[in-house]
A and B are shown apart, each in its own frame.
Chain A
Amino acid sequence: EDQVTQSPEALRLQEGESSSLNCSYTVSGLRGLFWYRQDPGKGPEFLFTLYSAGEEKEKERLKATLTKKESFLHITAPKPEDSATYLCAVQANAGNQFYFGTGTSLTVIP
């Protein structure tokens, strides 16, 4: 069964304290892995798409990496405005739907 597990559930960082969020997945043929950011009361905002092991994508303080079993979202020198829930989703070759994890709630303290 296709599934996604994200850890930790919640993370508190001091401003400037770098860390990583983990997304472990089981899928019968990966078509793509997606990272989103969701602020309270809003819809998920697209961040990255990764397609194959070894691929990396960067955007400002965020960097996403992918292996055959997991993806990491690295946050370098975070700022309070990076506080949000970060969602990971996978799409299998056989279907169209996304399977989402339950997210990591990140709080960056000034």
Chain B
Amino acid sequence: NAGVMQNPRHLVRRRGQEARLRCSPMKGHSHVYWYRQLPEEGLKFMVYLQKENIIDESGMPKERFSAEFPKEGPSILRIQQVVRGDSAAYFCASSRSGSETQYFGPGTRLLVL
């Protein structure tokens, strides 16, 4: 049973470009969460989605960041006009409906030059 998949694993962007991060949840999981991890800091919640719905985006910056989880295909975290402060590891987690336990993917490490 494949775990949570994220791609790309590493992404380099120049300031002002767009970054698209993809997450495929574990089989049978319909809930997806995105977290950001800065060096020397803990994981910070960004957004919680179910298929075609954003349930909680209280941790998302108001500008430049958006997330979606379409009916078909992976969840996508999109960062427009990236700045150096966006450099971080972005982790996706998934859970089964009715379960609190979240399983994490390997992360995407974004570097903004």
**Chain A residues within CB distance 8 Å of chain B:** 4, 31-32, 34, 36, 42-46, 49, 87, 89, 91, 95-103
Contact = CB atoms under 8 A, between A and B. Distances in A.
Interface of B: 4, 6, 31, 33, 35, 40-45, 48, 55-56, 58-59, 91, 100-107
Given A87-B42, A96-B48, A45 B55 contact: no
7 contacts: A32-B101, A43-B105, A46-B103, A96-B31, A96-B33, A97-B48, A101-B42
Contacts of A98: 33, 35, 43, 45, 102
A36 B103 CA distance: 10
A97 B45 contact: yes
B72 to A, nearest CB: 23
**B45, B102, B103: most-surrounded residue (chain A CB, <10 A):** B102
B43 A97 contact: no
Contacts of A103: 42
B111 to A, nearest CB: 14
Contacts, number: 58
Nearest to A45: B104
Nearest to A88: B42
A70 B6 CA distance: 32
A43 B48 contact: no
A100 B36 CA distance: 11
Given A36-B104, A87-B42, A102-B41, A95 B4 contact: no
A43 B101 contact: no
B100 A100 contact: no
Nearest to B3: A43
B76 to A, nearest CB: 18
A32 B107 contact: no
B43 A87 contact: yes
B101 A34 contact: yes
B105 A97 contact: no
Nearest 7 Cβ contacts at the A-B interface: A97-B45, A43-B104, A100-B42, A100-B43, A102-B42, A44-B104, A32-B100
